[in-house]
Amino acid sequence: MTTVIAFILMFGLLVFVHEWGHLIFAKRAGILAREFAIGFGPKVFSFIKNETLYTIRLIPAGGYVRVAGEDPEIVELKPGHHIGLEFDDAGQVEKIIVNNKTKHPEARIIEVEKADLDHRLVIEGYEIDEEEKLFFEVNPKALFVMDEKETQIAPYDRQFASKTKRQRAMQLFAGPMMNFVLAIVLFTILGFIQGVPSDEARFGDVQADSPASEAGFEPGDEVLQAEGEQVDTWEDFTMIVQNHPEETMNVTLSRDGSTQEVQVTPRAIEAQDQTIGQVGVTRAFEDSFVKKVSFGFTQTYEWSTLILTNLGKLVTGQFSIDMLSGPVGIYDATDQVVKTGLTNFVMWTAVLSVNLGIVNLLPVPALDGGRLLFIGVELIRGKPVDPQKEGAITFIGFALLLLLMIVVTWNDIQRLFL
């Protein structure tokens, strides 16, 4: 149950921060944000505030911000439609009753001849069995009412497409950007809680009954050499140990100003389908205020570099698709991380936030990066891509992503149960 709660909190935070970035910059640009959703499927909880419907949905598989201009449910008023109109105190149309007009006895029934709810905000038409043409001015925040569900209209200046390329790009980029910001904040918090990992190969704790303890390693020891190789960083020492499972190693240590020569035999463990060595020591931490402040930025940069490098290897075939993990694999990894303590769980959340930010910036249709690519093409061409073509490409991209998710999830299940 602890893992379930931890996974839900972690997932909810990552999605919330991402979609909150999209929402804030949509509102800053004056775009009507119709819905801010965590999850997909049926609504579990919802409320409306400042024109936006906030929802938590049943299937925890992501989230979205639905903005004006991407509204398949908005009804197009065509000539011959019979609609009901309700008016505000200024005489402007405030509600457009599309159906179930008998439930609105005070509505004025009109046969539509022409309607412009994008630019002029006018409905032209006739009362039933009357010949006098009437013109009705529409309030910019008027509501469609269909099946007793109210949806606010969106004049063109409130739609995504009406904004400048810079505003649209920023609204799309804001989601991944907020994931990087979250990672920086979490890594910084970790820096202040536990200190900053030392760049040197210096020991923090030595585990009891470990190869390091048996070899006589002590907290504060610094590794100078291992197996004849000079050791300058913790990563150098870790790599050498991992490459020598069950092999006795000669290690030169610096302790209290003197040099010690010891031997240690790393224990063999299985990690990511390979056998590596482990001696049972943890890295030392420094208590430097400056390094604590910068830790969030340096760690976010280093993890971003590592993730991009691995993505490059995946594209070039150096990594197999079998090494990717989906929700099932992430849940299993979260279960393992939760058992190791709160600080490791916070670290894991920060790493996943970096990963989510980078993946969403990939130039793949249906992702934020794919939509940014269309804006880049528009900048080069001097005109936007045809909406129908963009929609078709996005649909294909979404279908391919869905297929990839199915394959990755199947691989996760095989690793767990087969």
Query: Domain tally for the chain?
Result: 3
Claim to verify: residue 211 and residue 302 sit in the same structural domain: no
Average pLDDT on 28-36 reads 95
Residue 409 confidence (pLDDT) above 80:
no
Cα dihedral: 76, 82, 84, 87 (round 10): 70
Claim to verify: residue 240 and residue 338 sit in the same structural domain: no
Residues of the chain with pLDDT > 70, as a percent, come to 94
Asked if the structure places residue 74 within a domain, the reply is no
Residue 405 confidence (pLDDT) above 90:
no
Residue 334 confidence (pLDDT) above 90:
no
Claim to verify: residue 116 and residue 203 sit in the same structural domain: no
Split at pLDDT 50, 70, 90, the class of 418 is low
Claim to verify: residue 307 and residue 407 sit in the same structural domain: yes
Instruction: Supply the pLDDT for residue 44.
Output: 92
Split at pLDDT 50, 70, 90, the class of 377 is very high
Instruction: Supply the pLDDT for residue 415.
Output: 64
Residues 6+ apart with CB under 8 A from 217: 203, 206, 253, 262, 264, 279, 281
Instruction: Supply the pLDDT for residue 286.
Output: 84
Question: Is 246 annotated in the active site?
Answer: no
Instruction: Supply the pLDDT for residue 139.
Output: 96
Give the least confident one: 108-117, 364-373, 409-418.
Answer: 409-418
Give the domain range for residue 361: 289-417
Claim to verify: residue 257 and residue 335 sit in the same structural domain: no
Q: Which of 138, 140, 89, 70 is nearest to 110 (CA)?
A: 138
Domain-ending residue, one of 286, 308, 325: 286
Asked if the structure places residue 321 within a domain, the reply is yes
Claim to verify: residue 203 and residue 224 sit in the same structural domain: yes
Claim to verify: residue 146 and residue 258 sit in the same structural domain: no
Q: Which of 334, 341, 322, 336 is nearest to 413 (CA)?
A: 322
Instruction: Supply the pLDDT for residue 388.
Output: 82
CA 16 to CA 353: how far, in whole Å? 11
Asked if the structure places residue 169 within a domain, the reply is no
Q: Which residue has the higher pLDDT, 322 or 64?
A: 64
Rounded mean pLDDT of the chain? Answer: 89
Asked if the structure places residue 221 within a domain, the reply is yes
Claim to verify: residue 298 and residue 387 sit in the same structural domain: yes
Q: How many other CB atoms are there within 10 angstroms of residue 233's CB atom?
A: 13
Structure tokens at 126: 């006739």
Asked if the structure places residue 63 within a domain, the reply is no
In tens, the pLDDT along 196-235 reads 888 888 998 899 889 999 999 999 999 999 988 999 999 9
Split at pLDDT 50, 70, 90, the class of 171 is very high
Claim to verify: residue 278 and residue 296 sit in the same structural domain: no
Which among 19, 86, 127, 261 is annotated as catalytic?
Answer: 19
- Phi and psi dihedrals of 33, rounded to 5? -95, 110
CA 36 to CA 15: how far, in whole Å? 11
Q: Which of 233, 220, 225 is nearest to 264 (CA)?
A: 225
CB 223 within 8 A of CB 212: no
Instruction: Supply the pLDDT for residue 370.
Output: 92
Cα-based angle 168, 169, 170 (whole degrees, multiple of 5): 90
